[in-house]
Amino acid sequence: MTRLILGITGASGAVYGVRLLERCRHLGVHTHLVATPAGLLNVHHELGLDRRSLEALADEAHSPGEIGACIASGSFPAEAMVVAPCTMKTLAAIAHGLGDNLLTRAADVTLKERRRLLLLVRETPFNLAHLRNMTAVTEMGGIVFPPLPAFYHRPTSIAELVDETVERVLQLAGVAEARPREWQGLGRDAGGQGAAAQRPG
Ligand SMILES: Cc1cc2nc3c(=O)[nH]c(=O)nc-3n(C[C@H](O)[C@H](O)[C@H](O)COP(=O)(O)O)c2cc1C
């Protein structure tokens, strides 16, 4: 069984955390959720979901103060951790190894165990502290994954944009059943430009 730890913090983009939980349930991935107080605030503000409805989407839910929970230890076998969305505050705490709540402790454990850690950071524009913290997390083996949508599949709804990011995140987290759309190259109707000339990132 794949086990995924999901952190939800108080950045805009609560929908990414919620869709990740929904997809994990659909795919049979076992989820451990930690949402910060600011995360819960934004889940309610942006999606109208209260704490109980959010936690019902996870297999297990922990509060940030529950520092003795299973996910606080490297001996607990979780394959990966995703923080979606990830604030600059939580990014800073992870970059500096603070472990000041269950979410940042679980992220610290994920890094020390050399497991996949994905941070869906959300802020714009970035200041130097944000950029330095993203560099530090990358140097430690974490993956900074700002949820920036691609438009080359010509999405027609916000839900489609969100789901494309969610599938890519799940794939990077090691969920074999995740199915992000594959780029097939530009067709003959691309105005004479080859696929190599416009290969998406
Ligand atoms: C409506 C709202 C939107 C916010 N959006 C962001 C954001 O996009 N990125 C960010 O870094 N902080 C954002 N914040 C600020 C964080 O919620 C705040 O720094 C908080 O202390 C983060 O705590 P946490 O990381 O423990 O969730 C937002 C706050 C509110 C109230």
Average pLDDT, the chain: 93
Which DSSP state fits 188?
A: T
Please state, in angstroms and rounded to a whole number, the distance separating the CA atoms of residues 80 and 82: 7
What's the pTM value of the predicted model, to 2 decimals?
0.94
Residue identifier of the C-alpha nearest atom 18 of ligand 1: 10
Ligand 1 touching residue 104 (CB < 6 A): no
Q: Report pLDDT digits (tens) over 61-84.
A: 999 999 999 999 999 999 999 999
β-bridge pairing 80-86 and 60-62: unpaired
Contact 16, 120 (CB under 8 A): yes
Residue identifier of the C-alpha nearest atom 8 of ligand 1: 11
Structural domains in the chain? Answer: 3-179 (3.40.50.1950)
- For ligand 1, the distance from its centroid to the CA atom of residue 127, given in whole angstroms, is 15
- For ligand 1, the distance from its centroid to the CA atom of residue 18, given in whole angstroms, is 17
Q: Report pLDDT digits (tens) over 71-118.
A: 999 999 999 999 999 999 999 999 999 999 999 999 999 999 999 999
Ligand 1 touching residue 10 (CB < 6 A): yes
Amino acid identity for residue 69 in this structure: A
- Ligand 1 atom at minimum distance from 90 CA: 25
Query: Which runs of E-coded beta strand occur in the chain?
Result: 3-8, 30-35, 60-62, 80-86, 116-121, 143-144
